[in-house]
Structure 1
Amino acid sequence: MTVAILFLSLFLLLALRVPVAFALAGSSLLAIMYDGQVPEIVILHQMVGGVDSFPLLSVPFFVLAGAIMNSSGITHRIFDFANALVGWLRGGLGHVNVSASIIFAGMSGAAVADAGGLGAIEIKAMRKRGYDADFSVGLTAASSTIGPIIPPSLPLIIYGVMASASIGQLFAAGLIPGLLMAFALMIMVAWYAKKRQYPKEASLSLPNIAKTAKTAFLSLMTPVIIIFGILLGIFTATEAAIAAAVYALFLGGIVYRSISWRSLTKICMDTIETTSIIMLIVGAAAAFSWVLTSQRVTEDFTQWMLTLTNNKVIILLLITLILFIVGCFMETIAAITILTPILLPVAVSLGIDPVHFGIVMILNLMIGLLTPPVGLVLYVLSRVSNVPFEQCAKATLPFLVPLVIVLFLVIFIPQLSMWLPTMIYG
């Protein structure tokens, strides 16, 4: 009965539009009050313990770095470089859209930051060149999901904390699947461009590539510093986040001089607000997970799943279905914190590596960002493009196909995500 109260109260609070953090903490409190075995103060202890984690220190710094990048004109430099690099292909701005997301992914680690920052620039440029609104919005939405897969990645950091997995290995595991997502989207861009006769932006010009690369060079060094710094063991993911924030501040405040004290104050306040929301969710989810564990829900769920089948591929497909449904209705960080303690033991019991499972989980939830009724990326793009939410959702549907194909490739071929971590970490 305690478990029933836990989940029923959670769903009721979410249905009443109570913020996720308060819904998680409130349902946990109600459950232990009904159980009567432990004092209510335990919930507060579990929440504090949940955020008392060294890797979580990276969250505010990555959020700050992404916000500075968006506010200092760095996104424009990235877009211009990507345009020079791949704009000469048919449907050039579509390829630029994807390429710019790959580069920006190595800076922000968040799909919403990509959609809100690069998305506004990309959609405006594509509209000027005569691209259809559905193509522009749909592709921008789909390409923004590359951000949380290619390192650094806020969702992977949260998953790593919840799963006690190596953040460095998770970052390494996301690199190849992220590039596969980009490649799949570019194939679809080429197909659309041929079908609709989209234009090339310019002929291939090595001097232009060199010029834009020179202009964007310092900006392009950000993902290099982050990714190679972590993979080569120069610093941890947390230290990389600090380095990224300091470097972004150096570029925006000293090199480009595009950030004033007033704008920096606003950036810092926005960072505090975003970080506070994330930490509240993580802390509340830690309390929720503790209740699940104390009531043996995770063990019982694992045993129930294993009675259905012990085939790891089928189990992963069932989990994929669960994650897809949840992703349609729940924000990514909340879904990770709630579902990791429940689903990960099932995967581990079948010999599925927690790192591989993490990539599968984040890929699933990224697709959820593109599906109504929640679809945060769709809401952001609807705002920056002045396209109705329903039209954004419809425009994004065809672009889910390449993302789902990559998801299944990662499920059926674990080496796609595990080869690089194995090579680097042994």
Structure 2
Amino acid sequence: MTLLVLLGTMIGLSLLGVHLVFAILLSSTLALLIYRDYIPLEIIAQLFLSGIDNFLLLAVGFFFLAGELMNRGGVTRRIVEFAEACVGHIRGGLGHVNVASSVFFSGISGSAVADTAAIGSVMVPAMEKAGFSRGFAAAVTQSSSVIGPIIPPSIPMIVYAVLAQQSVGKMFLAGVLPGLLVALCLMVMVYVVALRRGYPAGRWQGVGAILRAGASALVALATPVIIVGGILGGVMTATEAGAVAVAYAFVIGKFWFRELTWAGCGEALVAAAKGSATVLVIVGASSVFAWIVADLKVSTTAAELIFSISRDPFWVLVMAMIFVLLIGLFMDPLAGLVVTVPVLLPVMQDIGVDPIHFGVLIVLNLMIGLTTPPVGYLIYLSAYIAKESPEVVIRESLPFLAALFAALILCLCFPALVLTLPQLYSGG
């Protein structure tokens, strides 16, 4: 009964448009009222504060700020120019440039929303001018933005690492090959659609153009190397790496590219504060939710239910991914992490599924939910940028959804795609 109140109230309030953090807190409060005879409501404030009282979560704010500074410092344009020089000559030209730009930009932002806003504002008008439909341009933009939280640095990976008590460095490494696989699947689909519709390809600019554009973008593309290398080398913690990324973003934007203004710095600080606050209040509220889920022993009940169907690790993982997919259709990825990780992770550990493998699968699965109705807000953001209706964007996104699910299935069936780099790092 308590679990039904908890989940039903939260999902219902979310569908009614109540802000996620309030939906979680209100549903948790109602659930605790059922326990009122022996659990004081003061525990809500205690759990909320303890949830965000984590040094590692400072990295979220730093990575938000680094991405905002780079976006205002001329980095996005140079990344797009480099991507165009590399892949613009393939059939579907600017569609491939869109995907490749998301790959490069993902090493800076760590956020799908930031990726959509930054790349979309540049690529959608350019694609429309080149003869691509606005719906197609928006669909490619929102689908490729899924790469942002997969390739490091990644804000959802940090949140999962906190929830599952895993290494941030290993989670970052585990996302590299799946992120590139997602990009490859999307580029194949762009080529197929472009071939069928007769979309144009750009001209081959030559190796010299690639080298020139690469040299201009090199200082920006070095960001993920500095972040991940510093963490894995034991030189920096994830939080310290975030602070270094902010300093690096400021220096290259202000003194190297000379496009970052003091006004832009102020705008970046405000935007980063809003983004960080959104993430942290959700994590805090979700700590209350997670405590109730643990107290109700939901993971034990879930394990019994799943194991009554099958104990084969592969099929258990498949059932878990179907459950996560359904959650992702209606919930924000961060809330989805907090709802699903406490319930499913103990089950995965019981059957021997690597928590790093499970973490990448669950993050990728929930990110796909951002591109699907009814809640997926990348649909509405990309439609707004393209000045197109969400219905058209959804229809144009169907082939790319197939590509995203293909990448997810490959990562599920072949764990080596996720675990090879973390195992090489740890010597396992």
- Range class of TM-score, shorter chain: over 0.9
CA shift for structure 1 position 87: 1.5
| Structure 1 stretches lacking a partner, 5+ long | none
CA shift for structure 1 position 264: 1.7
Q: CA 1:172–1:350 in 2, change beyond 3 Å: closer, same or farther?
A: same
CA shift for structure 1 position 410: 0.8
CA shift for structure 1 position 44: 1.1
Contact 2:89/2:203 (<8 A) preserved: yes
CA shift for structure 1 position 404: 0.7
Partner of 2:346: 345
| Structure 2 letter corresponding to 1:220 | L
Q: How does 1:164-203 map to 2 (within 5 A)?
A: 164-203=165-204
Partner of 1:267: 268
Q: CA 1:382–1:350 in 2, change beyond 3 Å: closer, same or farther?
A: same
Distance in 2, matches of 1:86 and 1:10, equals 44
Q: CA 1:185–1:12 in 2, change beyond 3 Å: closer, same or farther?
A: closer
Distance in 1, matches of 2:366 and 2:250, equals 31
Distance in 2, matches of 1:206 and 1:29, equals 61
| Structure 1 letter corresponding to 2:137 | S
Contact 2:361/2:412 (<8 A) preserved: yes
Q: Which structure 1 residue ranges, 4+ long, deviate > 4 Å from structure 2?
A: none
Partner of 1:378: 379
| Structure 2 letter corresponding to 1:41 | E
Partner of 1:310: 311
CA shift for structure 1 position 282: 0.3
Q: How does 1:225-374 map to 2 (within 5 A)?
A: 225-374=226-375
Percent of aligned pairs with the same residue? 39
Distance in 2, matches of 1:223 and 1:298, equals 36
Distance in 1, matches of 2:399 and 2:153, equals 27
Distance in 1, matches of 2:3 and 2:98, equals 46
Q: CA 1:188–1:14 in 2, change beyond 3 Å: closer, same or farther?
A: closer
Contact 1:32/1:40 (<8 A) preserved: yes
Are residues 1:24 and 2:24 paired? yes
Contact 1:106/1:227 (<8 A) preserved: no
Deviates more, 1:365-374 or 1:213-222: 213-222
Distance in 1, matches of 2:411 and 2:12, equals 35
Q: Secondary structure at the match of 1:233?
A: coil
| Structure 2 letter corresponding to 1:83 | E
Q: Secondary structure at the match of 2:148?
A: coil
Distance in 1, matches of 2:83 and 2:3, equals 51
Contact 1:61/1:244 (<8 A) preserved: yes
Structure 1, residues 98-137: CA drift from partner, whole Å, max 9, x if none?
1111110111011111110011211111111112333322
Partner of 1:158: 159
Structure 1, residues 138-180: CA drift from partner, whole Å, max 9, x if none?
2111111111111111111111111111111111111111111
Q: How does 1:75-224 map to 2 (within 5 A)?
A: 75-224=76-225
| Structure 2 letter corresponding to 1:271 | A
CA shift for structure 1 position 194: 2.7
Deviates more, 1:199-208 or 1:413-422: 199-208
CA shift for structure 1 position 389: 1.1
Distance in 2, matches of 1:422 and 1:214, equals 32
- Cα RMSD over matched residues? 1.6
Structure 1, residues 288-337: CA drift from partner, whole Å, max 9, x if none?
11111112222222222212211121112112211112111111111111
Distance in 2, matches of 1:6 and 1:187, equals 42
Distance in 2, matches of 1:363 and 1:2, equals 30
TM-score (norm 1): 0.96
Distance in 2, matches of 1:125 and 1:214, equals 23
Q: CA 1:194–1:4 in 2, change beyond 3 Å: closer, same or farther?
A: closer
Contact 1:111/1:145 (<8 A) preserved: yes
Q: Secondary structure at the match of 2:388?
A: coil
Partner of 1:56: 57
Contact 1:62/1:241 (<8 A) preserved: yes
Contact 1:75/1:118 (<8 A) preserved: yes
CA shift for structure 1 position 74: 0.9
Distance in 1, matches of 2:29 and 2:22, equals 10
Distance in 2, matches of 1:235 and 1:186, equals 35
| Structure 1 letter corresponding to 2:85 | A
Distance in 2, matches of 1:267 and 1:61, equals 11
Distance in 1, matches of 2:31 and 2:375, equals 27
| Structure 2 stretches lacking a partner, 5+ long | none
Partner of 1:4: 4
Distance in 1, matches of 2:164 and 2:283, equals 12
Q: CA 1:266–1:193 in 2, change beyond 3 Å: closer, same or farther?
A: same
Contact 2:137/2:386 (<8 A) preserved: no
Q: CA 1:388–1:420 in 2, change beyond 3 Å: closer, same or farther?
A: same
Q: CA 1:375–1:3 in 2, change beyond 3 Å: closer, same or farther?
A: closer
CA shift for structure 1 position 214: 2.2
Contact 1:60/1:275 (<8 A) preserved: yes
The count of corresponding residues between Structure 1 and Structure 2 is: 426
Distance in 2, matches of 1:388 and 1:70, equals 26
Q: CA 1:185–1:14 in 2, change beyond 3 Å: closer, same or farther?
A: closer
| Structure 2 letter corresponding to 1:115 | T
